[in-house]
Amino acid sequence: MHSFNPQRIQIGISSCLLGQQVRFDGGHKNSAYCQQELAPHFDFVPVCPEMAIGLGAPRKSIRQVRIDGEIRIRSGDGSVDVTDALKAFSEKKTAELGFLGGYLLCAKSPSCGMERVTVYKADGSGGSKEGIGVFARALMERFPHLPVEEEGRLHDMVIRENFFTRIYAYHDWHCMRLEGLTRKRLTDFHARYKYLLMSHSPAIYRKLGPLLAGEGELEAVADAYFDGFMTALEQKASRRNHTSTLQHIQGYFKKFLSGSQKAELTDAILAYRQGLTPLLVPITLIRHYLREHPNPYIAMQVYLEPHPQALRLRYAY
């Protein structure tokens, strides 16, 4: 039985993405990125709902079919219907996955597709890409802020960086909760995430401070904070917001940098704003000046390193 591990983030994953031969044709959708780039950093927890309910491999392919307004999961010829079995498994299994820090799903699957799953008409014709996999829906409904993505969408570097930013923040939150919730731990957590929140959603960031300063019951405040915190991070950070955040951090160095150093940092931020260099360039320069002119408040900011540099997530945009 799995449990939350503060030292090692566990990510749920569709079994086929790890090369397991569980697809309807007896094949897999092995992801080299997951196996080679992500495996050193995470522990994978593979799940294949279709195999779990007793469907073998190979097997008849199943699809989502709209019948009298209801979406059923059945084979193309209608001889196999696994709707109820898939729903029952999904409810039971997701209830056991509260220890996860994220989830990677296989696209287009009637059980695991996160979005745009094809839903066919009752006669087998047509098809609209409006479906969500049965297991994926149960997972996202039970854990609405769990970072969930389809493996194929990680080719988009903005989506990829956002996904792993959320994974590490989500895990960090649960590590804090594991230590025991206090107002100090909550306010310290918020302080560390100030600039990361600003880069994703300045509007939500401005609401979270007053929330923590209120007099509400601590658990209720923490729940409301976490909802706002993850909602903010679910918004992809724009170049404009990153630029504003970098300029705020730049202000801490104005008394210490020479004229040429100030100009160098300003130029690095502007080049990023114009799309000429990746975010890593001004961040690296800030980290360099931080070593020369230590500032404990800036040094503790998660924004400077929201995920391990080895993942190379700030190199490409």
pLDDT tens digit string along 222-260?
999 999 999 999 999 999 999 999 999 999 998 999 999
Encoded tokens for 99: 């220890």
Instruction: Compute CA 158 distance to the chain's CA centroid, rounded to the nearest angstrom.
Output: 12
Q: What is the DSSP letter of 81?
A: B
- Half-sphere exposure of 149 toward its Cβ, with a 13 Å CA cutoff? 23
In a domain, 160, yes or no: no
**Do 150 and 213 lie in a common domain?**
no
* Residue that is last in its domain, among 155, 190, 219: 155
User: What average pLDDT does the segment 163-192 reach?
Assistant: 98
- Phi-psi group of 275: left, alpha or beta (phi > 0 → left; psi -120 to 50 → alpha; rest → beta): left
181 in Cβ contact with 219 (< 8 Å): yes
Task: Answer whether residue 228 is part of any domain.
Answer: yes
Q: Following CA atoms 266, 268, 273, 277 in sequence, which dihedral angle do they give, to the nearest 10 degrees?
A: 170
Range with the poorest average pLDDT among 70-79, 135-144, 177-186, 192-201? 70-79
If asked whether residues 234 and 92 sit together in one domain, one would say no
Quick one: 129 and 185 in the same domain? no
Q: Are 177 and 317 found together in one domain?
A: yes
User: For position 24, what pLDDT does the model report?
Assistant: 85
The conformational region for residue 163 under phi > 0 = left, psi -120 to 50 = alpha, else beta, is alpha
Residues 230, 105 within the same domain: no
Domain count, the chain: 2
Mean pLDDT on 293-305: 97
233 burial via Cβ count (<10 Å: 0-12, 13-18, 19+)? buried
Indicate whether 217 and 264 sit together in one domain: yes
Q: Does residue 1 surpass a pLDDT of 80? A: no
114 and 25 both lie in a single domain: yes
Q: What angle do CA 249, 253, 258 make, to 5 degrees?
A: 140
Strand pairing class (102-105; 10-14): parallel
CA pair distance 108, 277, nearest whole angstrom: 35
Same-domain pairing of 254 and 289? yes
Q: Is residue 70 assigned to a domain?
A: yes
Is 227 inside a domain boundary? Answer: yes
Q: Show which of 120, 155, 190 is a domain's final residue.
A: 155
Is 146 in the same domain as 247?
no
Residues 73 and 199 in one domain: no
Q: What is the mean pLDDT of residues 118-143?
A: 92
Answer whether residue 1 is part of any domain. Answer: no
140 & 182 share domain? no
pLDDT band at 316 (very low <50, low <70, confident <90, very high): confident
- The domain in which residue 148 lies consists of 10-155
26-36 pLDDT, tens digit per residue, is 888 999 999 99
The secondary structure of the chain in percent helix, strand, coil, rounded to multiples of 5, reads: 50, 10, 35
Residue 3 lies in a domain: no
Q: What is the pLDDT of residue 309?
A: 93
Say if CB 199 and CB 249 are below 8 A apart. no
Residue 2 within a domain:
no
Pick from 100, 126, 155: which residue ends a domain? 155
290 and 215 part of one domain: yes
- Give a yes or no: residue 4 inside a domain: no
What is the average pLDDT score of the chain? 95
Radius of gyration for the alpha carbons in the chain, expressed in angstroms and rounded: 23
Q: What is the pLDDT of residue 286?
A: 97
